[in-house]
Amino acid sequence: MEKNNQKNNIDERVIIAGFGGQGVMLMGKILAQAGMLAGLNVTWIPKYGAEVRGGTAHCMVRISHKPIASPLVEFPTAIIVLNKPSLVKFENKVRPQGTVIVNSSLIDEKVTRDDVKVYYVPCTLLANQLGDVKGSNMVALGALVASWGFLNIDVVKEALKHMLPAYRHKYIPLNQKALDEGAHAITNA
């Protein structure tokens, strides 16, 4: 019952940004899939222009208990930034009281605003310790989900199965560990 009450005022607008190749598109898709599995309305839009691996890319995810009108995110309630250019680009767009997840392994700068909740998570380092640097995106996603609390991390783990093609399913356990690692970084903070 408590959970249902919580779901009645969900209206998250998320921007996930990083270098092309860091897995920002996939993170957004998994987040959207998890939101859908949790019974919420979701949209996902990629934004990469003509950029290539190594350029900057971002995606926009909306998760809401109400039907979603515009799928665009102009002023996010939460951002995940995996590299420095993304922090510079989006820091000032975040709504007051919004959430900022910073990959502190690759970003040495601090967030300059004091009206947002900031979590510095060494995503790249933590993923490396788990054995695969490619899991750093899942560490960051686990951190965001844990900071929210309305989306169960198990639903996000379930979403991996839907979003990854069958030939990549062997990587699911590692990705699930990475999600947990990110969540722990928040709950232990």
Partner 1 sequence: MKVLTNGNEAIAEAAVQAGCRFYAGYPITPQNEIPGYFARRMPEVKGTFIQSESEIAAINMVFGAAVAGARCMTSSSGPGISLKQEGISYIAACQLPVVIVNMMRGGPGLGDVSPAQSDYFQATKGGGHGDYHMIVFAPEDVQEAYTLTFNAFNYADYYRNPVMILGDGILGQMMEPIEQVNPSFELPLPEKDYILDGCRGREARSMMSLFLREGELERHNAILQEKYKRIQEELCLVEMVDVDQSDVVIVAYGTVARICNTVMREASNEGIKVGLIRPITLWPFPAKQIYDKVKNNAKVLVVEMSAGQMLEDVKLALNGKANIDFLGRMGGGIPLVVDILKKVVSMKGDS
Nearer to partner 1, 19 or 44 (CB): 44
H-run or E-run covering 43: strand 41-47
Nearer to partner 1, 45 or 174 (CB): 45
48 to each of 5, 24, 89, 178, how far by Cα in Å? 36, 10, 14, 25
Nearer to partner 1, 18 or 35 (CB): 35
Q: How many CB atoms lie within 10 A of CB 102?
A: 26
Q: Nearest to residue 144, comparing CAs of 35, 2, 44, 20?
A: 35
Nearer to partner 1, 49 or 96 (CB): 49
Q: What are the contacts of 112-117 at 24+ separation with CB within 8 A?
A: 117/147
Q: Nearest to residue 27, comparing CAs of 2, 53, 55, 59?
A: 59
- Give the shortest CB-69-to-partner 1 separation in angstroms: 3
- Give the shortest CB-74-to-partner 1 separation in angstroms: 6
Nearer to partner 1, 110 or 162 (CB): 162
Task: Enumerate binding residues for partner 1 (CB under 8 A).
Answer: 29, 32-33, 36, 41-46, 49-50, 68-72, 74, 162-163
- Give the shortest CB-134-to-partner 1 separation in angstroms: 22
d(Cα 10, Cα 67) in Å, to the nearest integer?
11
d(Cα 133, Cα 155) in Å, to the nearest integer?
23
- Give the shortest CB-63-to-partner 1 separation in angstroms: 11
CA 106 to chain centre: 16
- Give the shortest CB-156-to-partner 1 separation in angstroms: 14
